[in-house]
Amino acid sequence: MSSTSTAPGGDRPLGRSLRRRVEAAAGLVVAVGLLLIGWQAVHLQYGELVMPSLRETASAMARMAQDGTLASAALRTGLHALAGFLLAAALGLALGLSAGAMRICEVVLRPVATILLGVPAIAWVVLALLWFGSTPATPVLIVTLTAVSIPFLAALEGSHTVDPQLVEMARAYRAGRFGVLRDVVVPHVAGHLAPALAAAFGLSWKVAVMAEVLGAGAGIGEGLALARVNLDTATAMAWIVLTVALLLAVNGLVMRPLTGRFGHWRPPR
Amino acid sequence: MLRDISLFLAGPGVTAVIGPSGCGKTTLVRIAAGLLPPAEGGVRNGFGRTACVFQEDRLLPWRRIADNVALGLRAAGVSRHARARAAAAALQRVGLTDEDGRSYPHQLSGGMRQRAALARALAVDPDLLLLDEPFGATDFVRRQRLMAVLRSLARDNGKTVLLVTHDLTEAAALAETIVVLAGGPGRLADVVVPETLPDDRTPADIIALTGRLAGVLASGPDPAGTTME
């Protein structure tokens, strides 16, 4: 059923993990290279208006970086995405765990979550703008409404799949209600939750940009909308590159290590 | 599952429970452990501390082996330092190393995990030890050593052990008293108290006793419809 290896310290061999990292880095470089080549090819074929050259985009980006628009827009979008995400995570987790513990909560909340999941993000943008107008809270609310179902369903699923044998064992060893929660339920649910939170953050980031494009607030999306009005493709591409780069950076530097922390006890895949 | 069974364990010593599969041996352990309320009657447990080893290892996959072993001590409010010492001692008693203690369950073999589960029970220094087929995944040599550990618990430490097993030889080698259950629904078929004490039994005695137990099982009051494991 399982391997009999007993590596010291309980970690997988260093050599293998290092090789994987090098492989992943090389793959990333090749993928980005291919995308850039494709980008430049489209530019050469269809011209400046359809697709700006790499050089043109880079200089648009440098210009915005210099006058500070880039940083302030990134900061605002980041705030919208992060605030919305944190709200969604806290709300989803609390409701998901209650639904897992109480049947009545689940019966009511599960359909609500499913319906929320089905409402297109764009519908929330329209509704939020109608309800609240363009306030700083509008993009945050849009993000929260769009993302909340993901942590909710993950927490619910997690609390349903807790191993009853482990719960019985903990009770046999006199762990109280709190002990069972701390030693059995929470670690199990955390394993389900970490990847869901990473997915929810990615969604939050994209929805924040989208909400800004449609006028819900200042940020990267606002810049994108302005570039569209001016038919300035180079600036638009610069914003898009910034959006993707920031999302990848947050995923790689924050979300991935965080997910790893919750999964360290799992057998290596 | 079970009908009309009353069992009185007066320690110290090993009481083995044998019987065909599905006769409710596991249910008996769960009732004795207080995990399952009996439909009728009750359980009176006059032992100070009770610990349970299940058929499955039931280790927490997200805790290192040493922390798993110390689980019962944490609930009892033992200090961190004392917990670590007790866990290390319990691991050593079942033949696991400090290095095994630092591993996660998935890194150990099934037999090693089973021994860790036994160590978790030993760590709380139980007066009553409930064992449900605890040596399922262990190899022959290990099994001999663990059986010696159990005997020493009963003999030298004055502990009471209830051992549920399908292995007649195990029962014949370890137990002062052997309770034989019959299947469908599980009820008492016989109670065998051999003339010799387990520690005095020769291999020939054990073989003879195993044969006697097999005879009792085969001639149980309801031989039809019961299957031997």
Residue type, A62: A
| Kind of pairing between the strands at B187-192 and B13-18 | unpaired
Question: How far from A18 is each of A13, A15, A249, A264, A268, CA to CA, in Å?
Answer: 9, 5, 20, 16, 14
pLDDT band at B176; cut points 50, 70, 90: very high
pLDDT digits (tens, 9 = 90+) for B109-146: 988 999 999 999 999 999 999 999 888 777 888 888 88
- The reply to whether residue B35 touches residue A266, judged by beta carbons under 8 angstroms, is no
Per-chain mean pLDDT for chain B: 86
Mean pLDDT calculated for residue range A232-240: 94
For B67, which residue in chain A has the nearest alpha carbon? A183
pLDDT at A8 over 80: no
Helix axes A69-101, A233-250, angle to 10 degrees: 40
Q: What is the pLDDT, as a whole number, of residue A65?
A: 93
Residues of chain B positioned with their CB less than 8 A from the CB of A4:
108-109, 112
Q: What is the pLDDT, as a whole number, of residue B103?
A: 93
Residue type, A254: V
The residue whose two tokens read 């051992």 is B163
Q: What percent of chain B has pLDDT over 70?
A: 95
pLDDT at A3 over 70: no
Residues of chain B positioned with their CB less than 8 A from the CB of A184:
60
Neighbours of A160 (CB within 10 A): 12
Mean pLDDT calculated for residue range A122-150: 91
What fold is seen in the domain B1-48+127-223? Rossmann fold (3.40.50)
User: How far apart (Å, rounded) are the C-alpha atoms in residues B105 and B56?
Assistant: 13
| Cβ contact B88:B101 at 8 Å | yes
DSSP, collapsed to helix, strand or coil, labels residue A190 as helix
> Half-sphere exposure of residue B96, counting CA atoms within 13 Å on the CB side?
31
B164 φ/ψ angles, rounded to the nearest 5 degrees: -95, 130
Per-chain mean pLDDT for chain A: 88
* Interface subset of B 89-108, CB within 8 angstroms of A: 99-100, 102-108
User: How far apart (Å, rounded) are the C-alpha atoms in residues A75 and A72?
Assistant: 5
Q: What is the pLDDT, as a whole number, of residue A64?
A: 93
User: How far apart (Å, rounded) are the C-alpha atoms in residues B129 and A208?
Assistant: 59
ipTM of this complex > 0.90?
Answer: no
- The reply to whether residue A6 touches residue B108, judged by beta carbons under 8 angstroms, is yes
For A189, which residue in chain B has the nearest alpha carbon? B62
Picking from B71, B78, B112, B130 by the largest number of A CB atoms within 10 A of its own CB, the best residue to mutate is: B71
For B52, which residue in chain A has the nearest alpha carbon? A172
pLDDT band at A143; cut points 50, 70, 90: very high
Neighbours of B40 (CB within 10 A): 7
pLDDT band at A257; cut points 50, 70, 90: confident
Q: What is the pLDDT, as a whole number, of residue A77?
A: 94
A59 φ/ψ angles, rounded to the nearest 5 degrees: -70, -35
pLDDT digits (tens, 9 = 90+) for A23-72: 988 998 999 999 999 999 999 999 988 899 999 999 999 999 999 999 99
pLDDT digits (tens, 9 = 90+) for A186-196: 889 888 888 89
| Kind of pairing between the strands at B177-182 and B160-164 | unpaired
Q: What is the pLDDT, as a whole number, of residue B41?
A: 80
DSSP, collapsed to helix, strand or coil, labels residue A101 as helix
pLDDT band at B224; cut points 50, 70, 90: very low
Residue B206 carries which DSSP code? H
Q: What is the pLDDT, as a whole number, of residue A15?
A: 66
User: How far apart (Å, rounded) are the C-alpha atoms in residues A73 and A93?
Assistant: 30
Contact residues for B194 (Cβ-Cβ < 8 A; gap 6+): B172, B176, B178, B201, B205, B209
